Amino acid sequence: MNDLNLAIVSAGKHRLDAFGRILASTNRRLQVTAIECAPQRLGAITTQLSADILIVDCQDNDEAALSAALLALEQIGMQHPGMAIVLLHHGQSPDFLIRAMRAGVREVLAPDADIAALDAAIGRIAAKAGKTGTQNGNSGKVLAFASCKGGSGATFLAANLGYALAAQGNARVALFDLNLQFGDAALYLSDDKPAATIADVVQNISRLDEAFLKANMMQARPGFDILAAPADPAFGLEIKPEHVDALITLASRHYDYVILDTGRNLDALTIRALDHADTIFAVMQASLPFVRGAKRMLGIFGSLEYPAQKIELVVNRFQKDGALGIKDLEAACKTAIRRTVAHHAEAAEAAANQGIAVMKLAGGSPIARSLEAWAADLLGKAPAEETSWFNRILKRA
């Protein structure tokens, strides 16, 4: 195994020396670089940093200094996605841990962490990097599904697209049901009652790590895990935007796709979730009530200053001979529409009633084909046979 590159940052020279001695006493093969710098000034040197693990000694109690340090760490995390950040700080409250995690910190240890604690943290990070076979932290794509009007099919599409991504691309997919009052995403993929929900995770948020998250999710198929909405709407009230941050940040490190079903709600919590999305699929249908809903929703996304390319309108239950065509919908919504999903009541109802993915129950149905093409686009693959390179060559011959 290669040596681990470790950089340690502290404002105090004597502390750097002490850490150097501690780390020299481990049995690990470490290349240690000591950097004398106050954590809140790290922003100035982020590009020069290079390490597998960055340990930041932050003794500051002062809120301004702490905020500056966390901001710098967030930038470092974005610039060096493969770098695991360990923060040494006395703050251990769940709120502080969530805040640190949001900034991309992997572990928070007490400032007087001894060799055993440091070595254990290094071991966990090395093991995780080895287990996933990648050091590319934060790489999962976050896809949110918003419903322009109730019943447009956002939840159905979120659940079934997740299934298609996992089935077609061997992608690791997480679906978070963020309809905290009456979430029903899990029901589209299973008729079992979920053993745990997002409420169980949030009640124990200080234990949040990959294993704990997974333990509270329901597996819909290999590679596809669902975090269900609370069974009792009252539990939904305990879930705060900070929790959503921590969950999405963690999941995007361990899954290729994190799908969020935010439904129709646009409250502080769902907006926080939408902030994280790489793409928001706003689901509508081809009729006036949905057009009104879509316009309202696009207006709100505009006032949230989301860039236009972040939003994709999806026309579900689309029929070519319907009263409103794509051109009409584009003119009404002043937005290009690139994706439609075919209307097929029989397949959709059977799948929804039985809690079975539509690709599994009605493979080859128009909906299944729409979903397969959608997943193929996201995976960057050629979709069905006709466009595979092999068939193109055959056609040319």
Ligand X SMILES: Nc1ncnc2c1ncn2[C@@H]1O[C@H](COP(=O)(O)OP(=O)(O)O)[C@@H](O)[C@H]1O
Interacting residues toward ligand X by CB under 6 A: 147, 150-156, 263, 283, 316-317, 341, 343-345, 348-349, 352, 367
* Contact partner, 150, from ligand X, Mg ion, none, Cβ < 5-8 Å per class: ligand X
Q: Which is nearer to ligand X, 177 or 245 (CB)?
A: 177
Q: Which residue is nearest to Mg ion (CB)?
A: 155
List residues binding Mg ion (CB under 5 A): 155, 263
Calculate the CA dihedral of residues 68, 72, 74, 77 and round it to 10 degrees: -160
Q: Which is nearer to ligand X, 254 or 317 (CB)?
A: 317
Shortest separation between residue 189's beta carbon and ligand X, angstroms: 12
Shortest separation between residue 275's beta carbon and ligand X, angstroms: 21
β-strand partners of 242: none
* Contact partner, 156, from ligand X, Mg ion, none, Cβ < 5-8 Å per class: ligand X
* Contact partner, 349, from ligand X, Mg ion, none, Cβ < 5-8 Å per class: ligand X
Q: Bin 104: left if φ > 0, else alpha if -120 < ψ < 50, else beta.
A: left
* Contact partner, 341, from Mg ion, ligand X, none, Cβ < 5-8 Å per class: ligand X
Q: Which of 41, 111, 122 is nearest to 76 (CA)?
A: 41
* Contact partner, 317, from Mg ion, ligand X, none, Cβ < 5-8 Å per class: ligand X
Q: Bin 289: left if φ > 0, else alpha if -120 < ψ < 50, else beta.
A: alpha
Q: Which is nearer to ligand X, 16 or 161 (CB)?
A: 161
379 exposure class (CB count in 10 Å sphere: 0-12, 13-18, 19+)? middle
Between strands 218-221 and 224-227, the pairing is antiparallel
Shortest separation between residue 109's beta carbon and Mg ion, angstroms: 41
* Contact partner, 151, from ligand X, Mg ion, none, Cβ < 5-8 Å per class: ligand X
Gap between the terminal Cα atoms of the chain = 49
**Burial track 311-337 (b if 16+ CB lie within 10 A, e otherwise):** bbbbbbbbbeebebebeebeeebebeb
Q: Under 8 Å CB-to-CB from 178, ≥6 apart: which residues?
A: 198, 229, 244, 260, 261, 262, 263, 265, 269, 270, 273
Shortest separation between residue 63's beta carbon and ligand X, angstroms: 41
Q: What single-letter amino acid sits at 133?
A: G
Q: Which is nearer to ligand X, 313 or 348 (CB)?
A: 348
Shortest separation between residue 195's beta carbon and Mg ion, angstroms: 22
Distance CA 217, CA 195 (A): 8
Q: Which is nearer to ligand X, 147 or 190 (CB)?
A: 147
Residues listed for the chain:
397
Q: Which is nearer to ligand X, 41 or 339 (CB)?
A: 339
Shortest separation between residue 278's beta carbon and ligand X, angstroms: 20
Kindly tell me the sign of the dihedral angle through the C-alpha atoms of 319, 325, 326, 332.
negative
Q: Which is nearer to ligand X, 254 or 344 (CB)?
A: 344
Q: What single-letter amino acid sits at 264?
A: R
* Contact partner, 340, from ligand X, Mg ion, none, Cβ < 5-8 Å per class: none
Shortest separation between residue 94's beta carbon and ligand X, angstroms: 31
Q: Which is nearer to ligand X, 147 or 216 (CB)?
A: 147
Shortest separation between residue 185's beta carbon and ligand X, angstroms: 8
Shortest separation between residue 193's beta carbon and ligand X, angstroms: 18
Q: Which is nearer to Mg ion, 98 or 220 (CB)?
A: 220
- Could you tell me how far CA 207 lies from the centroid of its own chain? 18
User: How distant, in Å, are the alpha carbons of 55, 189, 222, 229, 349 from that of 226?
Assistant: 33, 9, 11, 9, 21
* Contact partner, 343, from Mg ion, ligand X, none, Cβ < 5-8 Å per class: ligand X
